[in-house]
Amino acid sequence: MNILGISSFYHDSAAALIVDGQIIAAAQEERFSRKKHDHRFPHQAIEYCLSEVQLTPYQLDHVVFYDKPFVKFERLLETYLAYAPYGFRSFLQAIPLWIKEKLWIPDIIQKELDYAGSILFSDHHDSHAASAFFPSPFSSAAIMTIDGVGE
Ligand SMILES: [Fe+2]
């Protein structure tokens, strides 16, 4: 089973390739673009990951995005509403970006990867926990995620 993980459109875009449960490759886009904290779609990181085992996007079983955009958007709107009128300037900056880009993640992935297969979404903080647990030597662990954003 070939799974490509993608993080993008916030900061430090990255990709990871898992083949039959093993991490084959993982990289941040900034390593290729030379742009610190590059947030753009990680084309070069994906290309690197797939090239490690000569896969094409057509051979992927799933593409997994690191959070759930609609759940995060709902949380964002609830927060803006709860604190209004504070945060109105931030609201004016954030909402157009969400409408233009972040709510269209499946379409962007399909277009950028030329991929028509399964796209899955994991919880933001589960993604953090998984990135710590699965490369660790432990068979079980308690994980606490402390983060500034998420769903
Ligand atoms: Fe986070």
What's the CA-to-centroid distance between 126 and ligand 1, angstroms? 10
Which pLDDT tens digit goes with each residue over 19-72?
Answer: 999 999 999 999 999 999 999 999 999 999 999 999 999 999 999 999 999 999
The 3 state secondary structure assigned to 93-143 is HHHHHHHHCHHHHHHHHHHHHCCCCEEEECCHHHHHHHHHHCCCCCCCCCC
State the average pLDDT for the chain: 95
- Catalytic residue numbers read 11
What's the CA-to-centroid distance between 108 and ligand 1, angstroms? 21
